[in-house]
Amino acid sequence: MTEIIRSLQNPRIKQAVQLRNARKRRELDLMVIDGVREIQQAIQAGIEIKEIFALEEQDSSENEHRKAFTQLNMTFVSEPVMERLAYGERNVPYVAIAKQPSLLLRTLKPRDRRSNSVLESEPGLILVIDRVEKPGNLGAMLRTADAVGVSAVLLSDPICEVWNPNAIRSSLGAIFQVPIATASSEAVIDWLREQKFQILAARLQASETYRKVSLQNKVAIVVGSEAEGLGSKWIQDSIEGIRLPMQGSVDSLNVSVSAAILLYDAANRMDWFTTER
């Protein structure tokens, strides 16, 4: 008979609930993944799934997903337990606990947009996210980065934790498909220069609009925090400033919207979609 956990005091349930806390995630090097699509994306990317908690009673469509997870360590739980695990999320029949992959810049392996293989000599397009605070914005930018097929996403001096469950959910699981690394601003800038990337930093005060800047074959687009914009390290002569033209009463867009505009424009001008799927 299949065991069903019904107690909120079960040690495994208590530890899983604690992983909603960033400090506990860092301490245990684990993360929480909510939802079928997100878990499937993680599995496809080779993320190590430690355990999947599944609601004991599900409709036929969800049972089809259950079959896909049968090779993994699955634990069935009651509805009250799932409500606690899902932390207020509605209609979430699966919650996974997974190991956090490495985010070290020195181990980053940028991808080739055409095959998802490791990038070697192909032109590159990278998104750099500097000090962004909101997990929803981080997730949205990672979703766009995956859609565009960027080589990698670099987080400089990150404030928002990469594996925040809200960032994972906002990305629709795309967070697992994009090579990601975190480092200080200085380290990211040094790495981009070593790799011979043209660095374009989005700034309100930049003299040139993004369409007037000529693009090289390796481009890094940098966007800054919602409240303060880019950190001071990104304001230097060797880094080109670009801005979005603004004709209305507001002087800026949401950072995820700005990133999407800049990424798609750069991708189009670099013939990034010549192998469009």
What are the pLDDT digits (tens) for 2-42?
679 999 999 999 999 999 999 999 999 999 999 999 999 99
pLDDT of residue 58: 66
Q: Which of 270, 166, 262, 175 is nearest to 216 (CA)?
A: 270
pLDDT tens digits, one per residue of 238-265? 899 999 999 888 888 999 999 999 999 9
pLDDT of residue 226: 82
Instruction: Please tell me the distance from the alpha carbon of residue 8 to that of residue 221, in angstroms, as a whole number.
Output: 46
Give residues with Cβ within 8 angstroms of 136, minimum separation 6. Answer: 166, 167, 170
pLDDT of residue 1: 46
pLDDT tens digits, one per residue of 203-229? 998 999 999 999 999 999 999 998 888
pLDDT tens digits, one per residue of 108-152? 988 876 555 444 446 699 999 999 999 999 999 999 999 999 999
Give the number of C-alpha atoms closer than 13 A to the C-alpha of residue 102, restricted to the C-beta side.
6
Q: Which residues of 48-93 form beta strands (DSSP E)?
A: 49-55, 74-77
CA distances from 9 to 18, 62, 112, 190, 251 (A): 12, 26, 46, 49, 51
Grade residue 85 by pLDDT with cuts at 50, 70 and 90. very high
pLDDT of residue 62: 56
pLDDT exceeds cutoff 60 at 54: yes
Q: Could you tell me which residue, 69 or 125, shows the higher pLDDT?
A: 125
CA distances from 177 to 44, 146, 266 (A): 8, 7, 20
